[in-house]
Amino acid sequence: MSGPHSILFRAYSQDGVIEKEHLLSEFAAAGFDSDNPIARELIAAVRGCDTVLDETAFERLYDCSPALLAQILEGNLIIADFKGFRAQIEEIFNQVRENREGQVASYIPQLEKVDPEKFAVAICSIDGQRMALGESRDYFCVQSCSKPLTYCIALEQLGVEEVHRFVGREPSGKTFNELALNAHGLPHNPMINAGAIMCGALIERGKSPAERFDAVLDIWREAAGGDCRIGFNNAVYLSEKQTGDRNYALGHFMREKKAFPEGTILADVLEFYFQCCSIETSVEALSVIAATLANGGHCPLSGKMIFRPENVKNCLSLMLSCGMYDFSGEFAFMVGMPAKSGVSGAILLVVPNTCGIAIWSPRLDELGNSVRGVDFCRKLVSRFRLHTFDQMVGLNDGRLDPRRSTYEERLGGGTFFLWACANGDTSEMRRLVARGVDPAVCNYDDRTGLHIAASAGQLEAVRYLLKVGVPVNREDRWGNRPLDDAIREGNDHVAALLKERGAECRTAAV
C-alpha cells in the first residue's frame, strides 16, 4: 500500500501495527486533547478504533483528518516540542505560585472578595496546541483586558484613519484613568480608560445598547473559538457603574472638548464601557483570544478571520507601548511582547506568530498589574527567546526557542554553515556567525567547516575560518586534520595557507 499515509505509518508502526494508545499519547503530548475543537473529530475516530491499527485502519483514520494527523506526527507545529515546553511552563508556574506579594483590587466588593490565591495560566498556539494550569476554568471579569478587543472592533468597523480621528496612539505617561487628554483634546490611546470609552462610542453606531453589547459579545465568542463560555458579571457591572465617578468625569471632560462623534449619547457609551469591563471568562478562553491576535486575527481553533491582520498589527503595536499601565515602557523593554492587563489580575499576552497566553492572579502591584502575572512574563523570557527583538541576539545565549525542534535548537544554523563552507560562500558564513552559529561547529563525523572547506579547496572560506579562530588541527572521526584534506584533494593554496598557520598532518603528529 502506498500514499501519503504510508510514510507516517512506516514511521510510527511496529510489527505492522500502531497502538491506539500510542497515537492518543502523541496527540496529547503535542497539545491536542478531546476538549480541543480542532482535534475532537480525529480523537473520537482514534477512540473508535481497535487497540491496534493496521495500515488499512490507519489509512481510514488519515482520511478523516489528513492535515492535522500529518502535522502532529511530523511534528510540524509551531511549538515543536510541546511536551518540553509544557514542562518548562509548569516549572515557571510553580515558582511563581510562591509569590504572594501585592494586594487584590479593592475599589469594588466583587474584586475585593476574590480569593487572592487563585492562579491560572493557559496557552494556545497558533496551531491550536493548548495547555492550562491552575484554576484555568474559573471565571473572572476581564476589566481592561477588554480594551484591545474594543479597539480591534472599532478598527474593523471604521478603519484606522477614522478611529484615530477620535483617539491618539501615544503612551499617556499618566495613570490609566487620569483626567487628561492629549494636545488635540483626544484620549491618548485606546488602552487607557478615556481611549476605551471613546472606542466604545465608535462601534456599532446606530444600534440600540442591547444590540451593541450583543454584537460585541458575539465577536468575543468567535475570537475565543466559539467553544468557551464568555459571560457577563452583572454585580461587577452594577458596582462599576456605581463607583465609576472617574469614568463619568472622563466622559464629561471629552464631551466638553467635543471629542466624541456627533450624536453620541454619553450615558450609553459609559454603560457600554462598564459592560465591557464586566465581561467574564476564564484563562482558557482568553488564551484563545490572545492566540487569535498572535495569529494575525485568524482564530486558530475555528480558522475564521475575526480581525483583519492590519488591524491586529495596529492593536499589538499599542499593546506593546501602552498595555501595562505605567509599567508599559519597562514591560516592553524587559519582556518585549504585546500585553494588556486588567485590575482583576488578568494579563493577555501575545507572542506574535507563536501563541497567546492568558494569566490570572488577583494580587496587584502598586501600578495595577498582577504581581504573579508580571513575574511569570519575566521568567518566561529568561528561559525562552520570545522577546520581540530576541532575533537580534545570538542563538547561543542559553535560552530556548520553542519554535524550533530540539535538533534545530541544538545545531542552530550549523548545517547551513557547513554547506556555506563547502561552497565558499563567505558572506553567508559571516551572516550565520553573526546570528550566533559557532564557527567551530562540527557535523556528525566531527568534521569542522575547516575540514570541509579545505577538502573543497575554498581558500577564502579557509581564510575566514582561521580568522574567527576555528582550531587548525582538529581531528575528524577518522583522525583526519584539515591539512590532510587539503593535501589529499590537491588543494595546494589551501595547504600552504594552513601550514603558514601552524597546521600539521595527522602523520606529522604521530
Residues that bind ligand GLU (CB under 6 A): 143-144, 176-177, 193, 240, 247, 277, 342-343
**230 vs 395 by CB, closer to ligand GLU:** 230
**36 vs 247 by CB, closer to ligand GLU:** 247
Q: Which is it for strands 339-341 and 346-351: parallel, antiparallel or unpaired?
A: antiparallel
157: exposed, middle or buried (C-beta count within 10 Å: 0-12, 13-18, 19+)? middle
Q: Shortest Cβ distance from residue 291 to ligand GLU (Å)?
A: 21
**129 vs 344 by CB, closer to ligand GLU:** 344
- Residue 29 neighbours by CB under 8 Å, 6+ apart: 82, 83
Q: Shortest Cβ distance from residue 244 to ligand GLU (Å)?
A: 7
144: exposed, middle or buried (C-beta count within 10 Å: 0-12, 13-18, 19+)? buried
Q: Shortest Cβ distance from residue 240 to ligand GLU (Å)?
A: 5
Phi then psi dihedrals of residue 488, to 5 deg: -55, -40
**338 vs 342 by CB, closer to ligand GLU:** 342
**177 vs 415 by CB, closer to ligand GLU:** 177
Dist. CA 115–CA 113, nearest whole Å = 6
Dist. CA 180–CA 250, nearest whole Å = 8
275: exposed, middle or buried (C-beta count within 10 Å: 0-12, 13-18, 19+)? buried
CB of 122 closer than 8 Å to CB of 357: yes
Q: Shortest Cβ distance from residue 12 to ligand GLU (Å)?
A: 48
Assigned C-alpha cell, 441: 561547529
Instruction: List, as own/partner pairs, every contact residues 229-234 make where C-beta atoms lie below 8 angstroms and the sequence separation is at least 24, other chains included.
Output: 229/139, 229/281, 229/282, 229/285, 230/279, 230/280, 230/281, 230/285, 231/139, 231/279, 231/280, 231/281, 232/275, 232/278, 232/279, 232/280, 233/110, 233/139, 233/141, 233/278, 233/279, 233/280, 234/278
Dist. CA 310–CA 331, nearest whole Å = 23
Q: Shortest Cβ distance from residue 196 to ligand GLU (Å)?
A: 8
CB of 382 closer than 8 Å to CB of 95: no
**109 vs 394 by CB, closer to ligand GLU:** 109
**35 vs 330 by CB, closer to ligand GLU:** 330
Provide the 10 A C-beta neighbour count for residue 218.
12
Dist. CA 42–CA 25, nearest whole Å = 13
Q: Shortest Cβ distance from residue 333 to ligand GLU (Å)?
A: 21
Q: Shortest Cβ distance from residue 52 to ligand GLU (Å)?
A: 53
Dist. CA 103–CA 125, nearest whole Å = 31
- Residue 63 neighbours by CB under 8 Å, 6+ apart: 5
**239 vs 455 by CB, closer to ligand GLU:** 239
Helical (H) or strand (E) element with 319 = helix 309-322
Provide the 10 A C-beta neighbour count for residue 423.
15
**145 vs 291 by CB, closer to ligand GLU:** 145
**56 vs 242 by CB, closer to ligand GLU:** 242
253: exposed, middle or buried (C-beta count within 10 Å: 0-12, 13-18, 19+)? middle
Q: Shortest Cβ distance from residue 237 to ligand GLU (Å)?
A: 10
**110 vs 491 by CB, closer to ligand GLU:** 110
Residue the block writes with cell 487584590: 104
CB of 27 closer than 8 Å to CB of 42: yes
Q: Shortest Cβ distance from residue 76 to ligand GLU (Å)?
A: 39
Residue the block writes with cell 483570544: 289
Q: Shortest Cβ distance from residue 282 to ligand GLU (Å)?
A: 17
Q: Shortest Cβ distance from residue 35 to ligand GLU (Å)?
A: 29
Assigned C-alpha cell, 65: 483528518
Q: Shortest Cβ distance from residue 249 to ligand GLU (Å)?
A: 11
**106 vs 353 by CB, closer to ligand GLU:** 106
